[in-house]
Structure 1
Amino acid sequence: MYKTEFHRMTNVTAIPFFDLTGLSHMRQKLRVVLFSVTLLCYCVILLVNGVLIVTIIREKKLHKPMYFFLCNLCINSLYGTAAFYPKFLYDLLSNNHMISYVGCLLQVFVIYSYAATDFSILAVMAYDRYVAICRPLEYHSIMTKCRVVMLVAFSRLVPLFSQGTVLIMTSRLKLCGSYIHKLYCENWAILKLSCNSITTNNIVGFIFILFYFGHDIFIIVSYVQVIKLAFRSKDGKKKFTQTCVPHLLCLLNVSVALLFDLMYARYGTESMAQSVRNFMAIQFLMIPPLLNPIIYGLKLTNVRTNIFKYFTRKRML
């Protein structure tokens, strides 16, 4: 018995491909419709994020910390969605929903480092708003170019390190299956295929989840201080409405989307309709990248004005 079990474990072959089964029950006609909607959604994501990035880079008036952080947020949206949409669009028109082992791990790394980076950027933006409203006379001495570069580096490098750690731990597991019941590769789905214990992976995963949701607590505490001071004067109220409200809306947007995904990934039930499960799995790759730049583009007067000015100038030419 022991010999048989040892033989089975030591002969688990390396899995070259994973089979994504999220679309297996969808009819071909529905796939064509979904392809059109998804392509439109991705094009809008590219457009709205691209317009904000170009506007901030081109306009010297927007070369300020808050707008650099916003530009970083938009770049991160393009980074994360690039790991999902092209592959998903291909799968919608194909009967083969396979993805290579390396490609699957790369997709996990990019998508979840994107999600973690979103939280980091929003935390950095909250710190920037706290300094701007609560310590306005010290703002320029605190938010120096060096400090801005350090904050941007923090928002990018720490998520890469954390997700790199998770990826290395996942890559060392022996797998006893190749079917992932989602539209894309997801770390928890891979862990469920493991032949060995995943306790260590779970502990590390929960530590990183708590760390990034701890960013929410930091942001809330920062905004408690901001609100106390901002509502003491008309100028403070105006600044809060123009720069802080869109940030809070984006935070709510990202937090709710990711919370749904994490709860579904770990505690979701198979009795739930496949279409509902698919939507819950991809909403954090669809709603935040789509709405965040629109929220900022509409609410931030300087951004909105410069966007209109840029397109008006193009028409005149």
Structure 2
Amino acid sequence: MENGTMPSYFYFTLFKEFVHLRYFILIVTLLVYLSILLFNVIILYVVFKERSLHEPMYILITCLSVNDLYGSTGFFPRLIIDILSNTNVISRSSCFVQIYIIYTYAISEYTILTLMAYDRYVAICHPLKYHRLMNSKIITLYIVIASLYSMFSMGLIVFLTARLPLCGTDIARLYCSTWSVVRLSCGVSTSTNNIIGLFVTTTAVFLPAFFIFYTYVRILIICQKSSKEFRGKALQTCLPHIISFVNYSIAIFCDIALSRLDSDKIRIAALVFSVEFLVFPPFCNPLIYGLNLPEIRKHILCLFQRSKIAQLPE
């Protein structure tokens, strides 16, 4: 088509390739989604219930769990519907709502990881200033500013994308993404979308990644000058964050790089990394923090012990 239109629906084309595995994929998807809900709700319950955990580090962990639940809810229910559907159609409005949810989740995930890195940096490198630089009011202010930025930036991107005339309706992904819709445009220049997208990617992904890398270089320098006991405690609190950061960074960078390539040879790789970016962080983060941080692990074990005692017959 030469003249672009504003289609009312989009079609997910990848589901046709896996129709023979429909019910197996459905079972796996349901198990993963229910696990994500359970694991993150446990983290939220434990941190909110225990007053001793009402500290910046644990508050940021709850923010990570809330954000993971938010992103998962924007992806999994729609995925389950599409697995069961024979048409795999999504309305235009639902597509843009999904784009908004998934990418505000993505931006917020990096923002929270950045705040967690800053929290560890202040605690280890400037311990005497910690309570002045990191308290509940300052943490709340940081989170509000970060949330407003992700909402505004993605709102602008969705607005610019929704105005594009399109010459197609097929999306070769498991969910709606900005680039999958932009590439369907015709008859108009997408340079504005590309510039805004590059700016948001730089400020929401690359700059936070650079800042996190800088904080850990500084932490490493301090640890080298400190005692073995100090290094052990620092590693214990930083290791979960490092694992989460590396896991999420690999997924998001590969998704950014592979999403703009249109080749059958890498389609499966792009599919895997797009799913990893939306599935593994929400699934792994509560396990990483619940198992590696002694305070959270202790309270989770107490929670399960109390539940077992309550089930015993009188």
- Band the TM-score falls in, shorter-chain normalisation: over 0.9
The 1-side partners of 2:292 and 2:262 are apart by 36
Q: Is the 8 A contact 2:169 2:184 kept in 1?
A: yes
**Which position in structure 2 is the counterpart of 1:242?**
236
- The correspondence for 2:183, drawn from 186, 192, 202, is 192
Distance 1:187 1:251 in 2: 23
Report the identity percentage: 37
Match of 2:280 in 1: 287
Alpha-carbon distance in structure 2 between the residues aligned to 1:259 and 1:16: 31
1:113-152 equivalences in 2 (<5 Å): 113-152=104-143
- TM-score normalized with structure 2 length: 0.94
| More deviation, 260-269/97-106 | 260-269
- Whole-Å Cα distance in 1 between the matches of residues 150 and 228 of structure 2? 38
For the 8 Å contact 1:124–1:155, the answer to whether it is kept is no
Cα displacement (A) at 1:191: 0.3
Kindly state the Cα deviation for residue 238 of structure 1 after the two structures are TM-superposed.
Answer: 2.3
Aligned to 1:263: 257
- Residue number among 61, 74, 91 corresponding to 1:70 in the alignment: 61
Show structure 2 runs of 5+ residues with no match: none
1:17 aligns with 2:6: no
**How big is the shift at 1:189?**
0.6
Match of 1:105 in 2: 96
8 Å contact 1:133–1:236 — kept in the other structure? no
TM-score (norm: length of structure 1): 0.93
User: Which residue number corresponds to residue 305 of structure 1?
Assistant: 298
Alignment-derived partner of residue 216 in structure 2: 223
1:284-311 alpha-carbon deviations (Å, 9 max, x no partner):
0111111111111111000000111111
User: 2:245 — aligned with what?
Assistant: 251
Q: CA deviation at 1:26?
A: 1.8
Matched, 1:84 2:75: yes
**CA distance in structure 2 between the aligned counterparts of 1:181 and 1:153, rounded to whole angstroms:** 35
Matched ranges for 1:29-44 at <5 A: 30-44=21-35
Q: Judge conservation of contact 1:130–1:222 (CA < 8 Å) in 2.
A: yes
- Give the Cα separation in 2 of the matches to 1:237 and 1:297: 21
Secondary structure of the residue aligned to 1:175 is: coil
Cα distance in 2 for residues equivalent to 1:170 and 1:199? 11
Deviation at 1:276, TM superposition (A): 4.1
Q: Deviations over 1:132-169 (max 9, x none)?
A: 11111111122122111112213322111111111111
RMSD over aligned CA atoms reads 1.5
Give yes or no for the alignment of 1:93 onto 2:93. no
Q: List gaps (5 residues or longer) in structure 1.
A: none
Cα deviations by residue, 1:221-249 (Å, 9 ceiling, x for unpaired): 11111111123123421221211111011
Are residues 236 and 268 of structure 1, via their aligned partners in 2, closer, same or farther at CA, if it must alter by over 3 Å? farther
Amino acid at match of 1:165: L
Q: Which residue is equivalent to 1:61?
A: 52
Secondary structure at 2:154 match in 1: helix
Tell me the distance in 2 between the aligned counterparts of 1:314 and 1:27.
Answer: 42
Q: Which runs of 4+ in 1 moved over 6 A?
A: none
Report how many residues are paired: 307
- 3-state SS of the aligned residue for 1:267? coil
8 A contact 2:75–2:175 mirrored in 1: yes
